Amino acid sequence: MTRSPGASDVTAPGSERRERLCAIDLFCGAGGLTEGLRQARFRVVAAVDNDELAVESYKLNHKRTRVWRDDVAQLNPATVMRALGLSPGDLDLHAGCPPCQGFSSMRTRNGKLDITDEQNDLVFEFVRWARAFQPRAVMLENFPALRDDARMVRVRAALRKLGYHLLHDVLNAAKYGVPQRRRRFILVGLRDGNPRFAPEVRRRRTVRDAIGDLPAPGSGDDLGRRPVRREHDRGRLDPRLHVRRQLRARRGPQRRARRPPGGDRPRHPDPC
Ligand SMILES: C[S@@+](CC[C@H](N)C(=O)[O-])C[C@H]1O[C@@H](n2cnc3c(N)ncnc32)[C@H](O)[C@@H]1O
């Protein structure tokens, strides 16, 4: 994808940055997707999330992006476009990861899908924003279960109607250089031309590749020196023990009894 002329309105003139594609990040959370886009040399000019802590974290992570702490469903995209000095068609990429708890198969104890979460309707907000911005490309990321959901069929139809050529699949991040097995539903759309996924890497990265150079635990940072199995002065538990206790409690005999034959929950560790 090459740069659109209108995007110059939001990029600083006179530098290499002028060549960068500009993007917005809907449901931005603490900014993980924005970080990926930044590493892919996009300039993320706007981000929206309604969660106070997420927005505070996002601002710490991405100081140059304008952030709206708002309900995406209530916020008018025209307001954001005006604030950025953009017109419909100027934006290069509209990206987003709508809340996906309802699409997670972790929610069900027997591995069956039970998609009832009303938050899932927020995927249609992604389309509403695409209609307003008319970006050159769209990219939506979510749980694998979204691929087969009826709402996704409607989302794809609506995006096609807006003129996008679409490509979607469930991809494993491990095949793209991420040191983690993480399957995600990815939908990309281009207004001009057919989208393609990036080629898979030839050699997968391991966790050792990624963080193997960090010092061993306890070899310098303060956390490693703190006693773990000690109660606080006022009789409260060390927070780390507290978490561990909760985890143990949740693994109690009742839950074990409900385990399906042949194993525990399906393997979908994505906390989203
Ligand atoms: C799956 S997370 C996004 C993660 C993010 N893409 C990242 O990389 O960190 C979904 C986000 O949607 C936000 N959210 C949920 N409902 C929302 C709404 N109605 N309007 C705006 N944000 C919302 C949540 O606060 C959460 O941060």
Residues flanking ligand 1, CB < 6 Å: 27-33, 48-51, 54, 71-73, 97, 99-100, 119, 122, 272
Whether residue 93 is predicted with pLDDT greater than 50 in this model: the reply is: yes
Q: What is the pTM of this model?
A: 0.74
| CA–CA–CA angle 164, 181, 244 (5° rounding) | 125
Whether residue 52 is predicted with pLDDT greater than 90 in this model: the reply is: yes
Helix spans in the chain (H): 32-39, 52-61, 77-84, 123-133, 150-161, 207-211, 222-225, 239-250, 253-258
Distance CA 98, CA 119 (A): 8
Q: Which of 50, 62, 76, 100 to mutate to test the pocket of ligand 1 (most atoms within 8 A of CB)?
A: 50
Q: Which amino acid is at 7?
A: A
**The pLDDT value given to residue 243:** 36
Instruction: Give the CATH class of 7-190.
Output: alpha beta
Distance CA 104, CA 30 (A): 20
Distance CA 21, CA 9 (A): 12
Whether residue 78 is predicted with pLDDT greater than 90 in this model: the reply is: yes
Q: Based on the residue annotation, tell me whether 97 is a catalytic residue of this protein.
A: no
- Domain ranges in the chain? 7-190, 227-256
| pLDDT, mean over the chain | 79
Give residue 189 CA to ligand 1 midpoint distance, Å: 21
Q: Read off the tokens for 66.
A: 């304008």
**The pLDDT value given to residue 116:** 52
